[in-house]
Amino acid sequence: MSDGMVSSGWDVLDASHQALRTAVRGVPADGWHRPTPCAGWTVAQVFQHAVGDQIGYAAALTGEPGPDFNPFAPSGEMEGVDPAVFLEDALARVAKAWAGVDRDAAEVPTPVPPHKMSPWSGSAACGLDAAVHAWDIAMATGRPSPLTPALARPLLKAARETVEPLRPRGAYVAALVPEQGDDDVAVLLRYLGRDPRWSAS
């Protein structure tokens, strides 16, 4: 963690936040309107959605207000927005919220079904959201995947606890069939309805 970045103390979540930071830093000035693996959404829309979701996780824990926009209907308008500041503000809020969680608590509130999860699962689900959208943004801008097998394994565990109730709502599309030779990252991406070989070109 470099200076000024708030750590949540939850390894999976912190690694996922770092993945999202790296992906957002890699977006070129003309990259915000590019298409992404999220059909119909630009890089800017995926970015706004990811930030809104992180704020939603923080709000569920702290009772503070959620995002002041609908993460499921992002505008894609980046006029006057400093992406790094917009992102860090949200990541600092959510890292601080998770840092305050009692690790021995039976469950903590989450913005996604089942709306209450063990602290580990909740923090990993929060990480899942950041990490998968980091992948979307990285792929859309021709950057290397920010996902590693070591990160994908715990994220898949969190995904299996949260994704199914979200599919009918359109938050995740149907899972893709696993293929021979898939590594942990590919297994995770296909489970989330993403083609590991998706390319912007």
The whole-model pTM stands at: 0.95
Specify the pLDDT at position 200.
84
Specify the pLDDT at position 195.
96
Q: Crossing angle, helix 149-166 and helix 119-140, to 10 degrees? A: 100
Select from 3.30.1360.120, 3.40.50.720, 1.20.120.450, 1.10.10.10 the CATH code of 11-191: 1.20.120.450
Q: How many helices (H) and strands (E) would you count in the chain?
A: 6, 2
98/105 Cα distance (integer angstroms): 12
**Would you say 175 and 193 are in contact if contact means Cβ atoms under 8 Å apart?**
yes
**Would you say 172 and 159 are in contact if contact means Cβ atoms under 8 Å apart?**
no
Specify the pLDDT at position 37.
95
**Would you say 74 and 86 are in contact if contact means Cβ atoms under 8 Å apart?**
no
Task: List alpha helices for the chain, DSSP H.
Answer: 11-25, 43-62, 83-99, 119-140, 149-166, 184-191
10 Å Cβ neighbour count for 84? Answer: 11
Regions of the chain with pLDDT less than 50: 1-3
Question: Structural domain boundaries of the chain?
Answer: 11-191
189/14 Cα distance (integer angstroms): 20
